[in-house]
């Protein structure tokens, strides 16, 4: 994350348990997707396929869009003029 025109070390600093919980939830969704694919057969393809697709989409959408982890830039903080800019020669 960029604050006052300078990048921070890591945008997730100080939120270890929240990051761990999100990782665990998304991992469980992804493992559920793989488990649903185990029920796939030529006779029964739609139900496991739809379940697997839904779980895979949730596993990728939750961290990117719902929690906003994919966009951690503060646009107002980037575009401020630095007060130490020297004018003149």
Which string of DSSP letters, residue by residue, matches 20-75?
HHHHHHHHHHHHHHHHHHTT--SSS-HHHHHHHHHHHHHHHHIIIIIS-TT----H
Number of domains in the chain: 1
Residue 15, in any domain of the structure: yes
Residue 84, in any domain of the structure: no
pTM of the model: 0.58
Domain range for 23 is: 2-78
pLDDT at 15: 74
Cβ proximity of 33 and 48 under 8 Å: no
Residue 16, in any domain of the structure: yes
pLDDT at 23: 87
Residue 83, in any domain of the structure: no
> Mean pLDDT of residues grouped by 10 in the chain (89 residues)?
63 73 90 91 90 91 69 58 57
Residue 45, in any domain of the structure: yes
Residue 87, in any domain of the structure: no
Residue 31, in any domain of the structure: yes
């Amino acid at each position: 994350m960029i604050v006052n025109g300078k990048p921070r070390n890591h945008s997730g600093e100080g939120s270890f348990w929240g990051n761990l919980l999100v990782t665990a939830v998304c991992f469980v969704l992804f493992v559920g997707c793989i488990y649903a694919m185990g029920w796939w057969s030529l006779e029964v393809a739609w139900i496991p396929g739809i379940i697997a697709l839904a779980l895979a989409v949730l596993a990728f959408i939750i961290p990117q869009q719902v929690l906003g982890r994919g966009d951690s830039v503060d646009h107002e903080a980037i575009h401020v003029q630095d007060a130490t800019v020297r004018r003149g020669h």
